[in-house]
Structure 1
Amino acid sequence: MDKAALASALGAPPVFGQSQFAFMRGNAFEARVKADGGAELLRLVRETLDPGAEPPERPHVPDLTAPGPEGRRTRTEQALREATAAGAWTLLDHPMLALDVAGSPALLEPDAVVVHPDGRWTVVEIKSFPVLDGSADPAKVGAAARQAAVYVLALEETAARLEPPPEVRHRILLVCPKDFSNLPTASAVDVRKQRAVTARQLARLTRVEDIAGTLPDGVCFSPDLPAEELTAAVEAVPATYAPECLSACELAFHCRARARAAGAVTALGRSVRAELGGLSTVDDVLAAARGEAGDPDDPAVAALRRAARLRAQALAAADREGAAPCP
Structure 2
Amino acid sequence: MSASLDSGPPPPPPRTPTTTLRRRLAELRGPAVPARPLDARALAALAANPGCRRRALLDGAGVDKGALAEAIGSPSAAFGQSQFAFMRGNAFEAKVKGDGGTELLRLLHERTGAGAEPPRDVLAPDLAAAGPEGRAARTALALREATAAGGWAFLDHPMLALEVAGSPAYLEPDAVVVHPDGRWTVVEIKSFPMIDATADPSKVGAAARQSAVYVLALERVAAVTEGASVHHSVLLVCPKDFSNLPTASVIDVRRQLSVTRRQLTRLARIEDLADALPPGTTFDLDGQSGESLAAAVEAVPAVYAPDCLAACELAFHCRDRARAEGEVTALGRSLRGELGGLTTIGEVLSAARGASGDPDDPTVAAVRRAAALRTEAFACRS
TM-score, L = length of structure 1: 0.83
Alignment-derived partner of residue 196 in structure 1: 258
State the superposition RMSD in angstroms.
2.8
Alignment-derived partner of residue 372 in structure 2: 306
Amino acid aligned to 2:365:
P
> What fraction of aligned residue pairs are identical, expressed as a percent?
66
Unpaired stretches in structure 1, ≥5 consecutive residues: 318-327
2:90 to 14, 24, 27: 27
Q: Deviation at 1:110?
A: 0.9
Preserved contact between residue 53 and residue 117 of structure 1 (Cα < 8 Å): no
Preserved contact between residue 275 and residue 300 of structure 1 (Cα < 8 Å): no
**Bigger relative contact order (CA 8 A; separation at least 6):** 2
Asked if 1:209 is matched to 2:271, the reply is yes
Superposed, 1:243-282 pairs within 5 Å as 243-282=306-345
Alignment-derived partner of residue 59 in structure 1: 122
Larger Rg: 1 or 2?
A: 1
Alignment-derived partner of residue 322 in structure 1: none
C-alpha spacing 1:126/1:88, structure 2 compared with 1 (3 Å): same
Alignment-derived partner of residue 141 in structure 2: 78
Greater alpha carbon shift after TM alignment, 213-222 vs 230-239: 213-222
Alignment-derived partner of residue 162 in structure 2: 99
Q: Deviation at 1:159?
A: 2.2
Superposed, 1:178-197 pairs within 5 Å as 178-197=240-259
Amino acid aligned to 1:210:
D
Distance 2:70 2:227 in 1: 43
Q: Deviation at 1:40?
A: 0.8
Preserved contact between residue 136 and residue 160 of structure 2 (Cα < 8 Å): yes
CA deviation profile, 1:39-97 (whole Å, cap 9, x unmatched): 11122223332355554344333333333333322332232233333333221111111
Distance 2:336 2:251 in 1: 35
Preserved contact between residue 289 and residue 308 of structure 1 (Cα < 8 Å): no
Distance 1:258 1:307 in 2: 31
Asked if 1:160 is matched to 2:223, the reply is yes
C-alpha spacing 1:308/1:43, structure 2 compared with 1 (3 Å): closer
**What is the aligned residue count?**
314
Indicate the SS of the match to 1:34.
Answer: helix
Q: Deviation at 1:34?
A: 0.7
Unpaired stretches in structure 2, ≥5 consecutive residues: 1-61
Alignment-derived partner of residue 356 in structure 2: 294
TM-score, L = length of structure 2: 0.72
Preserved contact between residue 277 and residue 300 of structure 1 (Cα < 8 Å): no
Distance 1:174 1:157 in 2: 22
